[in-house]
Amino acid sequence: MSQLSLLQSRRFWPLFTAQFLGAFNDNVYRFAVIIYVTFQLAPHTRIPTGSLVALTGGIFILPFFLFSALAGQLADQREKSRLIRWVKLVEIAVMALGAVGFYYHNVVWLLIVLFLMGTHSAVFGPLKYGILPQHLEEQELTGGNGLIQMATYAAILCGAAAGGLLAAISTADPRPIIVALIGIAYAGYLCARQIPIASPNDPDVRIDWHLGRATLRLLRTTLADREMAGLLLTISWFWFLGATFLSLLPAYGKDLLHADERTVTLLNAAFTVGIGIGSLTCETLSRRRIELGLVPLAALGISLAAGAVWWLGMPVVTRTTLSLHDFFEEPAACGIFAALVAIGACGALYIVPLNTALQARAAPQQRARVIGALNVLNALFMVCSALFSAILFQFQWTIPAIFMLVALLNLVALAAAMRAIPEFRQRLKALWRIDA
């Protein structure tokens, strides 16, 4: 049975659609705010546009540090489908607050709502990944996770494009973006109502409302288990890689390819296309098992593809402005597009088995809290990615050189992961014997 058949099952499609619409709405709102801040606020302040855009990213990520531990506790203690419905109802309310901000052109209000949207995502994460193993069989988990991964990146790309478009047409009349945001949130709630019941993992969990203490205790407890620590850190490294690569694409397109806005969007689409290809092939390559042997191969593929960007060097483009129409007529543009597709495909083959293994191997009574700990670490690694890129740019590193450095660091991380988790080596050898 193909993983696509899960999209016809009530055990999966309501959650799949609800999480897609949630991620889509997050990015519609976030990028609409970015466009608004860039064109409305930046001209009236001394703060650089890049800093203002980074501020929106920081505001969105901050709730993952603050609330992931609490979200994991609640998801383990309560019945998940009901919690998801409540989260989706709150999303509608938050989007209504966002509508007020757009209507009155109040930037501070919009940024407060962005923080609330980040909180919504932080709470939803342990629920969506914690409920999957309760509704899917173990042999379905890899396929289900692949579809979720593909949908998440598609939602990010489509949400960014839609948010920018809606912000542009809503400068004079905010009604289009208001209707879109509330309508998407309401559609997500309707889907959430169809999610089957998922019993609590541990009804006896005592909720610790002290956010800092709960977060530190969660990380300390989770990382004490060597296998869990290895999986968590290896997954979070993927988010460092992804955040670094995606942050470099706008500058690569604009400054090196001389691309226009739509063409830069195509570069983001290349990464997403690759994620989709990898996500849909992962189930076949893993033979519907939890196959960690794919992870070292995928990590090596990421480094080779990133190294290819360095090998292409500083591209030579014959046009003053590279349009979408002319993109595939330029060899340099074709090369970077192929490299980004390869990075995305290998990225999916890397992250899907890891996510699946984490969900299957975490103790059921604390599965959502483990995912909460993962969210904290993912946020931390993404912040480190932003600092990493900012420091290298400060020292005048070129973008191809940064790609090569990341490729080398990824090989170091791979070596560390294979030493920390012997199963990577064992399963890789088993795959080699099977293929031979």
**Tens digit of pLDDT for each residue in 365-384?**
888 999 999 999 999 999 99
Place of tokens 């309760």: 134
Give the mean pLDDT of 43-66.
73
Residue 67 CB partners (closer than 8 Å, separation 6+): 119, 122, 123, 211
Residue 371 CB partners (closer than 8 Å, separation 6+): 72, 75, 125, 126, 129, 130, 358, 359, 362
In the chain, residues under CATH classification 1.20.1250.20 are 1-195, 224-436
Average model confidence (pLDDT) for the chain?
87
DSSP per residue, 83-137: HHHHHHHHHHHHHHHHHHHHHHT-HHHHHHHHHHHHHHHHHHHHHHHHHHHHHS-
Least confident range from 45-54, 71-80, 267-276, 288-297: namely 45-54
Q: What is the third-level CATH fold of 1-195?
A: Growth Hormone; Chain: A; (1.20.1250)
Q: Do 257 and 322 form a contact (C-beta atoms < 8 A)? A: yes
pLDDT tens across 89-123, in order?
999 999 999 999 888 878 888 889 999 999 999 99
Give the mean pLDDT of 16-28.
92
Class for the domain spanning 224-436: mainly alpha
DSSP per residue, 324-359: TTTGGGSHHHHHHHHHHHHHHHHHHHHHHHHHHHHH
SS3 259: strand
Closest CA to 109 of 21, 8, 41: 41
What is the rounded distance in angstroms from the CA atom of residue 89 to the CA atom of residue 160?
23
Please report, in angstroms and rounded to a whole number, the separation of the first and last CA atoms in the chain: 26
Label residue 48 exposed, middle or buried (CB < 10 Å: 0-12, 13-18, 19+). Answer: exposed
